[in-house]
Amino acid sequence: MTSRAGVVRAFVAKDLRIHARDRFYVVVTIVGLAFFIGVFWLLPDTVDETLHLGVHLEDAPAEVAALLDADEDEAGLAVEVFRSSADLEDAVRDGDPVVAGLDLPAGFLAALATGQDASARIVLRADAPEELRPALAAMVRELAFAVSGQPPPVTVPDLDEVVVGVDRAGAQLSLRDQLRPVFVVIALFVEMFALASLVAGELQLRTITAVLTTPARISDVLAAKTVVGTLLAFSQAMVLVVATGALVRGLPLLVVALLLGGILVTGVGLIAGSIGRDFIEVVFWSLVVGLPVMIPAFGALFPGSVSTWIQVLPGHGLVQIMVGTTARGEGWTEAAPHLGALAGWCVVVFALGVAILQRRVRRL
């Protein structure tokens, strides 16, 4: 007597064996994991928010240099004094860490103190943020007021800073935290592609026709493909998460999110594998259907710039949970809406994949 569980187990074992014998995916999986893990640990794990400025003041008195140095750390500003204009320009050209500088010529301070005209040079790297120019100009003006002993033309009012929402100042994501979801989603994507190939192979070779003239049902095939797809995707993602040291907190939440992510890409794999009629078409449809899963991961590289349309894409919930849990220590409460959205997308995408696969099988 054939049991449903026995049929599904047989199918899962067969699919895993076929997958393990596909050199392309074995190589892509191993090399991909090694590459992502290696790159991850090479990336900086801290965010340096200090702005490094260089100053060359030809005849600077010691007390002026000390005054400049006093601002370090307090305002996220570090000033480095250079002996010559050439040294300053070289440092700015290198850009590490000095990104801009003030070149104050000989007699600059004396001219200011005596009320004479004075000029200064602002030195900027070509890729320096646009906002630096007015900021440096303001610095020179402040310096002029301080040296000349005259007050600024207006009285600067006291300012209260109000940040609406969660203030991320001082808690920016490191490059590692930004890239972790990208790596995980790419790993999921590779396994999605592997599942799509398994499904497409079953249809192209018409082995599924042979299977469906045995006591096995299409529901058994779908169950097995779901198990295989989710297992492959989830295990790859977990390996990455563990290897990138992200399991220090929120383990159950991460496991649930990655399981849902595995189911999501399984649904995408069913769609791509059912539509694609050969290798090229499978690649094409995997990219077309898989992009909405991948795009939000790249959005994590640009915090604060995630557009509304990206927020409704299938992969957004997964990325937000990963970032929130691994980098910000968020828990179930903060993740709940993202989990809900992710689960909703799983249902939609998986149902679509099942419907398309069933239609293809009927038309064989």
Q: Rule CB under 8 A: which residues touch other proteins? A: 1-3, 6-7, 9-10, 13-14, 17-18, 21-22, 205-207, 209-217
Least distance CB 202 / other proteins (angstroms): 9
For other proteins, the closer CB: 150 or 219:
219
**What is the helix, strand, coil percentage profile of the chain, to 5?**
65, 5, 30
Q: Count Cβ atoms below 10 Å from residue 358 Cβ, excluding itself.
A: 16
Q: Are 263 and 315 in contact (CB under 8 A)?
A: no
d(CA 147, CA 124): 24
Q: How far is the CB of 273 from other proteins (least distance, A)?
A: 16
Return the closest-CA partner of residue 353 out of 225, 231, 259. 225
Q: Closer to other proteins by CB, 12 or 60: give it.
A: 12
Nearer to other proteins, 84 or 209 (CB): 209
What minimum distance in Å lies between the beta carbon of 272 and other proteins? 20
How far apart CA 27 and CA 323 sit, in angstroms, is 28
Cis peptide before 44 (omega within 30 of 0): no
Please say which residue, 114 or 209, places its beta carbon nearer to other proteins. Answer: 209
CB of 267 to other proteins, least distance (A): 24
Q: How far is the CB of 2 from other proteins (least distance, A)?
A: 4
**Please, what is the minimum distance in Å from the beta carbon of residue 360 to other proteins?**
14
- Name 38's Cβ contacts closer than 8 Å, sequence gap at least 6: none
3-state secondary structure of 102: strand
Cβ atoms of 81 and 57 closer than 8 Å:
yes
Q: Provide the 3-class DSSP secondary structure of residue 289.
A: helix
How many degrees, rounded to 5, is the angle at CA 69 between CA 154 and CA 118?
50
Our CB check for other proteins shows the closer of 212 and 255 to be 212
Select 208 or 254, whichever has its Cβ closest to other proteins: 208
**Of 323, 286, 331, 285, which is closest to residue 304 (Cα–Cα)?**
323
Question: Token pair 């049991």 is at which residue?
Answer: 3
Q: Is 55 helix (H, G, I), strand (E, B) or coil?
A: strand
Residue closer to other proteins, measured from CB, 215 or 340? 215
Minimum distance from CB of 5 to other proteins (Å)? 11
- Is 20 within 8 Å of 64 (Cβ atoms)? no
What is residue 58's DSSP assignment? T
Could you give the strand order of the β-sheet that contains 77-82, starting from the edge strand earlier in sequence?
77-82, 51-57, 100-104, 121-124
Nearer to other proteins, 148 or 204 (CB): 204
C-beta of 217 vs 328, nearer to other proteins? 217
Residue 30: CB atoms within 10 Å: 10
